[in-house]
Chains A and B, each alone.
Chain A
Amino acid sequence: AGTLDDVKARGKLNCGVTTGLVGFAAPNANGEWEGFDVAVCRAVAAATLGDSTAVEFVPTTGKTRFTALASGEIDMLARNTTWTFSRDVDLKFEFTGVNYYDGQGFMVPKDLGVSSAKELDGATVCIQTGTTTELNLADFFRSNNISYEPVPIETNAEAQQQYLAGACDVYTTDASGLAATRATFDDPAGHVLLPEIISKEPLGPLVRHGDNEWGDVVRWTLNALITAEELGVTSANLAEMSAGTNNPEINRLLGTEGTLGEMLGLSADWAKNAIAAGGNYGEVFAKNIGEDTPIGLARGLNAQWTEGGLLYSPPFR
């Protein structure tokens, strides 16, 4: 049976997330998972099952994530995982889109007086291992012909401790993570993010190869969130709009027109449920990692294409 049927039969979605990265996926003081990646899981659960809480969050590490997905322990992986050729092709996974365009950056203490990553010759670099960080770093220093000393650390908390204690000069991980980390410092102003972004890190949810129905569900749920923002559908006006509007695309999206839900094998109001779970893409972003949160990320690349960003959902028709 396909994954979609499994999920429906089970009544729960098993969603793989990271073991804890504030803003993207981390349990809060009450033990509830929250964050940007978590919201994707919830949206998919809402779309398929009509219940955004019907999610079992499975924490995975950099090592266990692929096995967990390949062996069927989880239905989808919504963890900061970079979409790369070999993962898509060689490891036989299917990336269903990009929910966050990231890039690897550097953070240094201000008093080090460094203003560009190219000045980092001979520096000691703390790396949070787990995604493609080590490889990008090696490529960057190699192509600039400068040397460095890597200190690979498993968890963000420990890497941060090393960095603050001066055991390394630079901390590198995805720029979003750097911002999130800096936000928790005693003295955030004492640290700067260097301008260089040394890699493209399109992060997105992925599923197993070969189950295209399920892949479609995840892909279009993500697209629904993005399109909703583009079309101005928010959790505030969702009820009103789902009564029917004069924009046919909104109507198709929210299931008042056409049979998109049926085609996916879902109910007609699948997208409405997905949006109701946490709002549209913009709302999810603002709530979890936006500028008003301690993490304080600007939309940047992740703005809608209409606003100069890269978010561009294919049309719902």
Chain B
Amino acid sequence: MTGTSQMQVSDKVAITIDGMNKWYGSFHVLRDINLTVYEGERIVICGPSGSGKSTLIRCINALEEHQQGSITVDGTLLSSDLKNIDKIRSEVGMCFQHFNLFPHLTILENCTLAPIWVRKTPKKEAEERAMHFLEKVKIPDQANKFPGQLSGGQQQRVAIARSLCMMPRIMLFDEPTSALDPEMIKEVLDTMIELAEEGMTMLCVTHEMGFARQVANRVIFMDAGQIVEQNEPEAFFNNPQSERTQLFLSQILGH
């Protein structure tokens, strides 16, 4: 299984993070992060709470500023130039822990909003594409409902569809399943696995180790703002190198 997924990884670089440092005030959250993500790669990021996982992926689509080092997404250097930021954001889709759907818009409107206003897609085309992705996440029949009328799992799938409608080349997931009931987690993970199989570049913060084993090319373990260890899933889980990782895995798998 790991074999098949690795085959889709190309040599083209999707994201390069180079010597990145970030501070919140005087608190050093991210320390000297170096990371290269190739197109089609699926990366799972894990680590204890507060270790900076969310901050890292939020830096990638400029929801947070970084203070040192550079981030290059798809050849575009992330700088304070708004043009670049806009460009990167439309290449990178993001999916939040709490979905953050727009409650005043229907599912369909949620999905077509950004294509229409950012990509200037004609409405009809945007809607067709939205329906396509809603079918992909298996909720085309909910298109005209409001987010408040859906279950958590359905909402998270809408959030994924919403990002996909922007046709991003890279998807970021920040603990997409941790706000869900166990039975809904499965729905969402299935959707993500399907995406993974299509070769989407994915960075995913999650503690679902089953998911990591099944789809990831690489697992990154962070602690105290640093990347402590990264490896292929098999090696990572069966044979963690650092002590910190071993401790963390023992806790997580012990549950």
A and B touch in the complex (CB under 8 A): no
